[in-house]
Amino acid sequence: MEMSGSDTTFAGSIPELYDTHLVPLIFEPYALDLARRAVALAPGRVLEVAAGTGVVTRALAKMLPAAVDLVATDLNPPMLARAAAVGTERPVTWQQADAMQLPFEAASFDLVVCQFGAMFFPDRAAAFAQARRVLRPGGAFLFNVWDRIETNEFADVVSAALGTLFPADPPRFMARTPHGYFDRAQIARDLAAGGFGAAPEIETVTARSRAPSALAAAIAYCQGTPMRNEIEARAAGDLTEATRISAEALEARFGSAAIEGQIQAHVVMARY
């Protein structure tokens, strides 16, 4: 699927809602997973790209030795501002940067980390080439991407519910972008095109997503992601109604109290 321009717009209240609702819902388990893998590589200097509101940055800052230099970047200033405002346990260099054109010298990092950002890159092979360029020989590029939407239950239910509200033009953000880059063979081809000669290590990791209520999960998806832009752009784009319908669908599927569903992602390690 071709990406829409609104897919990369994280502005207004989205960064705060993203951080307070979506991060604990689906991102924290994988952030801890990436941080543990990063620690095992014993890097001296780490670059994070597409850091978003900093969930991985916070985990890295906590788990890596204090002597490790950590630079966290994102294309979107509002997301990076939220990350910097929340802060970390130790100093981190926050810098606005485009993963497609990293403003760093060649061979300047031991590890490049990216959590759920590769799906948003307009040219993934070119972005991967940038990651390889800034890596030192022997370094690694560690990232994750969501598996297909059918394996991620909350996202799938919300997308289907919004299809009933907008049957002529259903919002397709979740399937198109966050869950649109799941083909392991394509990932390997893009890494090879980006200059990573060795076959990547790809592991599919399943976890559980938990929310205090169906409404909390609906708010996370409908108001804390760029799908909000799609909802509001439609002629009948009532954000409150879209959130209500999504919450009803989640409650019908998962119950009226705290809810729990499957999430699934691929974790990729490409070595230089």
pTM for the predicted model, two decimal places: 0.92
What percent of the chain has a predicted confidence (pLDDT) above 70?
94
State the average pLDDT over residues 244-263. Answer: 97
Whole-number Å distance between alpha carbons of 270 and 114: 12
Q: What is the pLDDT of residue 236?
A: 59
Task: Name the packing angle between helices 153-165 and 239-254 (round to 10°).
Answer: 130
The CATH label, of 3.50.50.60, 3.30.470.10, 3.40.50.150, 3.40.50.12280, for the domain at 5-271 is 3.40.50.150
pLDDT tens sequence across 150-195 = 999 999 999 999 999 999 999 999 999 999 999 999 999 999 999 9
Q: For the chain, what are the domain ranges?
A: 5-271
Name 115's bridge partners: 144
Whole-number Å distance between alpha carbons of 187 and 21: 29
State the average pLDDT over residues 237-251. Answer: 93
CB 207 within 8 A of CB 30: yes
Q: And the tokens for 103?
A: 């403003």
Q: Which residues contact 13 (CB under 8 A, 6 or more apart)?
A: 223
State the average pLDDT over residues 212-220. Answer: 96
